[in-house]
């Protein structure tokens, strides 16, 4: 049994490089690629969004097939495009549902992703690939696990297919009105606690959790945290009581082909841990290009979605009658922020940029090349998250010798180790209590090392750069999970 190659179809609403709003895309862009190197026939299915039009493929030769998908009383056509220059990928094209400027936040998201789930299940009838495993990710794909188990498994074509559901973020659950059951052709008895009811509505995430053969999440600590009231977003008891045996935490990696300071084409100067002194040139040239004062002071970097999850409200607390943000700026530091998100935080950083014009670079945008420049130019990297399923920014920062300052939660706890000056071990700075005071204290600690004990600071940088967070370990862990359930 062990020698037959596994066949796994990843299903995701976003996949790098095709479409990305967050870490989910990075994961599904990298993991299947790595699994293929380990001999798994891993493939991917995703929507064909308007933003991809003309960018990745447009040519007719990528057209594979088309068929109809039934959603309740509605019938919608879907065109399948296929590309395999990175990983064999099936793109589901529907002008009705996906030819829109954004990926999400439309009134009919429930219908759009019900269509996607059903479209992917139907796809299996039209291609020469019957997976052993369908690997679903986040709420957009939850209904697929339900449909597979209750509607499709009676058909011999689907009878042996197992599903796994990976939680990248508990907070986004896909909660919709009960009247939408008809989209999935589900009878009213699915509106029960044992099934997909959630406070009088239906939950796409719950459909994934209950009906998948296995649940994983993206770090061991988060796998435990989501079973608690604080982190479970209302599903903690379901997870801790009913589904406990089905959950496993597997730490994400990063794609070392892309995130490598030795070869990264976006950097001003490439470097490795042996030539880490060249990192400073990246800071100097960054300051010059973006109009920051040209001096060697500690540069704090942030690359993040600007949402509540990421802990930026801590900046608005006060210490000594000062905003934490102003308190930080009293140190001889510079600040660079890249990201988009909630208005409140965008405004806060706009204000910062206005107040400390020559010491801050604030980019309210989504720009991968600039992100990589920031990892290389910054000395420390701030991630004070309220919760963090895994977090990829700290892994990238460490890879580029930028020292992470993080709150000890989820994947941050699993990947960053507080520096110990006696043993010279550790890769960053951690604080546990969710408070602006402790965040500030850790920035101050890093600042003292940076200015007064540069040999220690360099040691922390090197420790981080040498740490391996490649996808190999995760790929092996997922393969074991796959083998266990088929
Ligand atoms: C989500 C989580 C983040 C995780 C990523 C990939 O974006 O917020 O912590 O790293 O998914 O799994």
pLDDT at 228 over 80: yes
CATH class name, domain 7-253+471-485: alpha beta
Structure tokens at 70: 């039934």
222 alpha carbon – ligand 1 mean position (Å)? 11
Q: Which CATH number fits domain 273-466: 3.40.50.2000, 3.90.1150.10, 3.40.50.720, 3.40.1160.10?
A: 3.40.50.2000
Q: What is the dihedral of CA 14, 18, 22, 24, to 10 degrees?
A: 50
CA distance 396 to 377: 13
Sheet containing 162-167: give its strands across: 63-71, 74-83, 89-93, 41-47, 7-11, 133-137, 162-167, 214-217, 247-249
Q: How confident is the model at residue 222 (pLDDT cuts 50, 70, 90)?
A: very high
pLDDT at 1 over 60: no
For ligand 1, atom 12, the nearest C-alpha belongs to 168
Contacts of 237 (CB under 8 A, 6+ apart): none
pLDDT of residue 128: 95
Partners of 406 in beta bridges:
383, 430
288 alpha carbon – ligand 1 mean position (Å)? 33
Q: How confident is the model at residue 262 (pLDDT cuts 50, 70, 90)?
A: very high
What is the location of CATH 3.40.50.2000 in the chain? 7-253+471-485, 273-466
410 alpha carbon – ligand 1 mean position (Å)? 10
For ligand 1, atom 3, the nearest C-alpha belongs to 391
For ligand 1, pick from 10, 14, 15, 24 the residue to mutate: most ligand atoms within 8 Å of CB: 24
69 alpha carbon – ligand 1 mean position (Å)? 31
Residues with beta carbon inside 6 Å of ligand 1? 22-24, 27, 168-169, 218, 252, 388-392, 411
For ligand 1, pick from 21, 391, 410 the residue to mutate: most ligand atoms within 8 Å of CB: 391
pLDDT of residue 54: 82
Per DSSP, the three-state class of 216 is strand
pLDDT of residue 283: 98
pLDDT of residue 56: 81
pLDDT at 291 over 70: yes
81 alpha carbon – ligand 1 mean position (Å)? 28
- The 10s digit of each residue's pLDDT in 436-486 is 999 999 999 999 999 999 999 999 999 999 998 989 999 999 999 999 999
For ligand 1, pick from 10, 13, 20, 23 the residue to mutate: most ligand atoms within 8 Å of CB: 23
For ligand 1, pick from 14, 22, 166 the residue to mutate: most ligand atoms within 8 Å of CB: 22
pLDDT of residue 4: 79
158 alpha carbon – ligand 1 mean position (Å)? 30
Nearest to 298 by CA among 251, 272, 335: 335
Q: 386 with 310: CB under 8 angstroms?
A: yes
Which atom of ligand 1 approaches the CA of 388 most closely? 9
Q: How confident is the model at residue 53 (pLDDT cuts 50, 70, 90)?
A: confident
CA distance 455 to 26: 34
Which atom of ligand 1 approaches the CA of 26 most closely? 6
Which atom of ligand 1 approaches the CA of 222 most closely? 9
434 alpha carbon – ligand 1 mean position (Å)? 19
Could you give phi then psi for residue 136, rounded to 5 degrees?
-95, 155
24 alpha carbon – ligand 1 mean position (Å)? 6
Q: Calculate the alpha carbon distances from 36 to 7, 32, 90, 133 in Å.
A: 10, 6, 16, 14
pLDDT of residue 58: 64
């Amino acid at each position: 049994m062990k020698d037959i190659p596994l066949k796994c179809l990843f299903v995701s609403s976003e996949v790098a490089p095709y479409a990305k709003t967050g870490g989910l895309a990075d994961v599904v862009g990298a993991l299947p690629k790595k699994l293929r190197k380990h001999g798994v026939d891993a493939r991917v299915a995703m929507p064909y969004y308007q933003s991809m039009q003309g960018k990745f493929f447009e040519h007719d030769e990528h057209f594979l097939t088309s068929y109809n998908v039934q959603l309740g009383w509605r019938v919608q056509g879907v065109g399948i495009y296929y590309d395999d220059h990175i990983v064999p990928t099936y793109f589901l094209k529907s002008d009705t549902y996906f030819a829109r400027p954004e990926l999400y936040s439309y009134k009919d998201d429930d219908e759009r992703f019900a269509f996607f789930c059903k479209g992917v299940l139907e796809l299996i009838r039209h291609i020469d690939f019957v997976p052993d495993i369908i690997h679903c990710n986040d709420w957009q794909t939850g209904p697929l696990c339900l449909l597979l188990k209750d509607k499709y498994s009676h058909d011999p074509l689907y009878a042996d297919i197992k599903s796994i559901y990976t939680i990248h973020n508990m907070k986004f659950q896909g909660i919709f009105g009960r009247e939408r059951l008809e989209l999935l052709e589900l009878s009213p008895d699915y509106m029960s606690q044992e099934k997909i009811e959630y406070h009088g509505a239906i939950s796409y995430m719950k459909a994934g959790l209950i009906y998948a053969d296995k649940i994983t999440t993206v770090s061991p600590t988060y796998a435990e945290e989501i079973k608690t009231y604080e982190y479970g977003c209302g599903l903690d008891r379901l997870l801790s009581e009913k589904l406990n045996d089905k959950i496993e935490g597997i730490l994400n990696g990063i794609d070392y082909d892309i995130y490598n300071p030795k070869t990264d084409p976006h950097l001003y100067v490439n470097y490795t841990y042996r030539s880490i002194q060249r990192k400073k040139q990246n800071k100097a040239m960054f300051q010059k290009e973006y109009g920051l004062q040209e001096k060697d002071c500690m540069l704090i970097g942030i690359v993040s979605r600007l949402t509540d999850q990421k802990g930026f409200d801590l900046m608005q607390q006060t210490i000594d009658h000062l905003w934490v943000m102003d308190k930080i700026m009293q140190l001889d530091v510079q600040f660079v922020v890249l990201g988009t998100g909630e208005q409140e935080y965008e405004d806060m950083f706009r204000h910062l940029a206005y107040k400390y014009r020559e010491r801050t670079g604030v980019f309210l945008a989504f720009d991968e090349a600039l992100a990589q420049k920031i990892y290389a130019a910054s000395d420390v990297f701030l991630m004070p998250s309220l919760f963090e399923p895994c977090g990829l920014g700290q892994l990238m920062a460490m890879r580029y010798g930028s020292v992470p300052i993080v709150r000890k939660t989820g994947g941050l706890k699993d990947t960053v180790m507080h520096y110990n000056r006696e043993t010279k071990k550790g890769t960053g700075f951690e604080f546990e209590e969710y408070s602006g005071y402790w965040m500030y204290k850790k920035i101050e600690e890093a600042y003292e090392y940076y200015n007064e004990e540069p040999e220690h600071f360099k040691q922390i940088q090197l420790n981080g750069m040498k740490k391996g967070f490649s996808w190999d370990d995760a790929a092996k862990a997922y393969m074991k999970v796959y083998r266990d359930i088929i």
